[in-house]
Structure 1
């Protein structure tokens, strides 16, 4: 960790205006990936993995139209997955590893797959101390027809924050309160008056769910209404693990840009908002969910 990023305070304390939100607070860790040269011993996005030399590398088992540059021929077959993120529990304490594990590795196939047009993902938990002989070079993967699924190597600047549910996740009663502009006016000058016709969007953009790469917290709902996810093994309600983002801020939520990037955000520097150069389904986000009962149960995902 050799970079620092600090989220500015929210424009106002939303729980002072709506005390009903207090019990809904959740911790989240913003990862703030920034260009760098991570090693296998670092938490990273798009960096090298601490992968045992004698352990098979994950492949996507679906059929792909691949090209072999050595023979100048196309073929169909499994495709090696590419590293997306490597997260050490020492850096990301919100992770809930299985017993004996202290490292989470996330990989995906850099091809969009039907019917949801998203990359299949793999999660690997391991004990870093047990990896003594590290794989020097993983197998090369063939990229899909769309750019944006091979992250640029980035170091992380983990920062813990507090989140509240996105407004589609709120009860009807609380949502009606959020829509009452007079409640917001009474809160003072921290409220952006341009949101007067739709004050719930001020809450959604500035006060509830942080954009960008993060662990834990609440999911944001950009494409659909809330979609409950249930474990395929035990039917428990699944919880957010990792949000893989196409950007860390945009014109609607620029207030979440860290202090250190405020000048770049004000200048409209799109590259500063997306150092890993990841583009999920053009410009969306991929949410990974896990079972709270057991990290050994299969995870699931959702594009938003």
Structure 2
């Protein structure tokens, strides 16, 4: 970890106004991924994994819908297009009057966007995240200090998002590292290839989404007069919908994180029962399309309020992942056993 990101203090102590929320507090760890050059020994997003050389690389052998991709690109195609885009952005930053594209850049982009032939065979999974327990807490057996998350870069019929796979292992047992893992010949979307990022983990306190609270607490959150006792810390623009002030500013952090509470909104809360034992699964990892949006900009780290953030296509879009038009993919794990199947949920 070579950087620090600090969440600004919340505008008010929500448990002082609503004491019944205090027992519901949970710790989440914001990951704050930012573009970098991670190695296999780093906690990271979209970077090489500490993968044993003698362990087979995982593949997806399910059918993939050839009608889905708008452009059939390889991971290398996407990386080259990103390099061209970054060169264009940097040139215009230095000289706003400069040509947007050079003839060579246009030729390269057009050639790559022409796409590649369809591929019907098994698809090697792509690295999504690697978390060392020394950096990021996560549910794990005593003999594992490493969580590795991979996915198939195609939507799958049963859930309409990339199918994920989780691996927990002891880093000390990996003495011979696989140095050239296979890559998919094609991917469904360039937004399913994460940009390599280093992490700056930071613990924060979260509370449940309003939809997960009982009626009494929801009624309390809807009482504007109680919010008004907070004085200037209360944003009067939320007078019509005070629960949105709670949800956007106080309840849960946006962006990539482990633990905490589930974010709802695309759907109402739904059971996340472990397919193996029936236990309610808990949030493990949130794979976010953006680190913040306009309604959650109070969570922008203090360091990026004072100084420009690294270049990104949009606010907080550092990993270059997009889940179905700006949503998050939340992975939930069984608290009884890490060997039980996990659940993916889009919100």
Q: TM-score, normalised by structure 1?
A: 0.94
User: Hey, what's the Cα distance between the residues in 1 that align with 2:292 and 2:333?
Assistant: 25
Unpaired segments of 5 or more residues in structure 1? none
Aligned partner (choices 87, 109, 124) of residue 152 of structure 2: 109
Deviates more, 1:119-128 or 1:226-235: 226-235
1:78 alignment partner, one of 94, 97, 122 = 122
1:243 equivalenced with 2:266 (yes/no): no
Mapped partners of 2:157, 2:117: distance in 1: 24
- Name the counterpart of 2:32: 32
Q: State whether structure 2 residue 329 is matched by structure 1 residue 286.
A: yes
Pick one of 181, 184, 189 that aligns with 2:232: 189
Quote the residue 2:58 is aligned against: 58
Q: What SS does the corresponding residue of 1:225 show, helix, strand or coil?
A: coil
Q: Does 1:252 align with 2:295?
A: yes
Q: Who is 2:12 aligned against? A: 12
Aligned pairs (5 A) from 1:1-304: 1-64=1-64, 65=66, 74-93=118-137, 95-262=138-305, 271-304=314-347
* Bigger fraction of residues in strand: 1
Larger radius of gyration: 2
Task: Classify 1:54/1:176 alpha carbon distance in 2 versus 1 (closer, same or farther; 3 Å).
Answer: same
Q: Which structure shows the higher helix fraction? A: 2
Give the 3 Å change call, closer, same or farther, for CA 167–20 of structure 1 in structure 2: same
Aligned residues: 300
Q: Give the alignment's TM-score, normalised by structure 2.
A: 0.83
3-state SS of paired residue (2:60): strand
Residues 264, 286 of structure 1: alpha-carbon distance in 2 compared, 3 angstrom cutoff: farther
Runs of 5+ consecutive residues of structure 2 not aligned to the other structure: 75-115
Question: Take 1:295 and 1:40, find their aligned partners in 2: how far apart are those partners?
Answer: 23
Q: Whole-Å Cα distance in 2 between the matches of residues 119 and 173 of structure 1?
A: 38
Cα distance between partner residues in 2 of 1:23 and 1:278: 34
* Deviates most, 81-90 or 54-63: 54-63
**Bigger mean CA offset, 12-21 vs 112-121:** 112-121
Matches of 1:91 and 1:182, distance apart in 2: 42
Summarize deviations over 1:94-140 as a string: whole Å, max 9, x none: x1212311100000011112243100000000110111110111101
User: How much does 1:146 deviate?
Assistant: 2.4
Once the two structures are superposed, residues 182-203 of structure 1 have per-residue CA deviations (whole angstroms, 9 ceiling, x without a partner) of 0000121101100001000000
Q: Is the 8 A contact 1:103 1:125 kept in 2?
A: yes
